[in-house]
Structure 1
């Protein structure tokens, strides 16, 4: 169990970097980081396919197309949306909105196949909503007219990234729970190819906006972040999550997803060299408690053999 807990925490620590990386690579843009990161991710997957265990063999045509498309949408699309959300809305709001994904997935599943009475979800969903309202209301209240527009745009992009996560999660879970489900290594590799292809398609849009003002230190920092995000966060982070999901009881592994939000908030605040404000702290605690309660409720109802959240997840 200790190995599973460490793997789950490592996943949160790695995926949380997605909430600070777009700001850390300035003057390079979030699009440039997204293209370079997932191009490298695709290359890593291709290199690993020298070993047959990583190749998408034995998959149906539908699985191949689905996995490839999920890589383009769930990896490249999600990171691009959340990157610009962080740049526009700051360090706190995007991680909190994205952190509701496990609850949203569970609620959507409950709408399709009722498993939990809605009255049992009133408290956790109320806490999640209250936390988001407290943080967003405080941020908008302190912002000027221009900053308010940027923050609203960032909130909107964070909601878009959440929607991408939910669509990805539902389709991904359906494939991994269906007949003839692919192994985690092959499924991750296939999606890496999709993410790498999306990067190639976006490359022409990046080149005209290349950063001419970048100096030697800027380039070195950008390359370092690309290596970390492409090779470590994308591939190894997903692998750690698969390990955690298989070694831990469902209730515990589901709640460990919240670690991504916690690490993301911590990284963002550290980057801004500040402590959270009182509304940010209160709102964050309300949401984290609400997410943990909701995941625990669904986990107890689902039992040990039915995962609440899909695996592998989105880095």
Structure 2
């Protein structure tokens, strides 16, 4: 269980970079960083398959297709949506909107698995929901009137990304907790191939193609450093971490660990904007963190009291 929790937190820290990457690589576009990042993810995943333990052997054609679709839609689609949301609504509000995923996904997961009585989940879920509410309400109240249109489009894209994240999280957890679940390394590679194929198809549509060829430009070098980091570290290791967390933890717990992405994303956004959090941001983030800590404690205590069959 500890490995699953650490893997989920690592994923949150890595995926939180999605909330600043589109702004960090300007004047290159969100589509540019999305396509090149996931093309690198696909190439790395394919390259690792020269090693036998990374090859998706034993997976049915249906499972292979499902893994590639999960990668292409769940990760590529999510990142593209959240990238434009960040550009339109800033680096703080989008992670706080997508941060409702722990609440919605945990509720959905517990309906499915009944891994914990609802009464015991009420406190951590309530704390997370309260923290999200505090920050979202304050952000909307403080938005300049002249930016309302862009803000609303950014909010809509954030909500769209939220539902893609929930669908991805649920589908991935179902696969990894099935009796015939694939190996985590192989499943990560299959998702990477799906991302890489979609990125390859979208290459003709990127807007900064000629600029990318100017490798002597500091802006281009900066862009490729970010793309390489996002493709290898954030995409491959982040996806692998989430696959491990989905495999080792109940969905109702792994769902709440997604809040780590929100907290890290908020921290990265504040660092990028070189400012301290406002009082609502600080209070909301603290409430979310406390909610996750309480949830982890509840599930850990349950595991100790009622060990799984076959455990000493």
Q: Tell me the TM-score normalised to structure 1 length.
A: 0.83
2:290 and 2:83 map into 1 onto residues whose CA distance is 25
98-107 or 290-299: which moved more? 290-299
Deviation at 1:184, TM superposition (A): 0.7
> Could you say which residue in structure 2 is the equivalent of 1:87?
87
Matched with 2:183 is 183
CA RMSD between the two structures: 3.3
Alignment of 1:1-315 (within 5 A): 10-207=10-207, 210=209, 216-240=217-241, 257-294=258-295, 296-297=297-298
* DSSP 3-state at the match of 2:56: coil
How far apart, CA to CA, are the structure 2 residues paired with 1:53 and 1:212? 38
Out of 232-241 and 246-255, give the one that drifted further: 246-255
Instruction: After TM superposition, give the deviation of residue 292 of structure 1 in Å.
Output: 4.0
Contact 1:250 1:304 in 2 (8 A): no
For this pair of structures, how many residues does the alignment match?
A: 305
**1:275 Cα shift?**
0.3
Q: Does structure 1 retain, via aligned residues, the 8 Å contact 2:86–2:94?
A: yes
8 Å contact from structure 2 (residues 25, 226) kept in 1: yes
Structure 1 58/249 Cα, relative in aligned 2: closer, same or farther at 3 Å?
A: closer
Q: Which structure 1 residue ranges, 5 or more long, are not aligned?
A: 307-315
How far did 1:301 drift? 5.8
Matched residue of 1:27: which SS? Answer: coil
Mapped contact 2:101–2:255 kept (Cα < 8 A):
no
Residue 94 of structure 1: CA displacement?
A: 1.9
Report the Cα offset of residue 126 of structure 1: 3.4
Do the aligned residues in 1 keep the contact of 2:110 with 2:251 (CA within 8 Å)?
A: no
Shift of 1:249: 11
Give, in whole Å, the separation in 2 of the partners of 1:36 and 1:167: 24
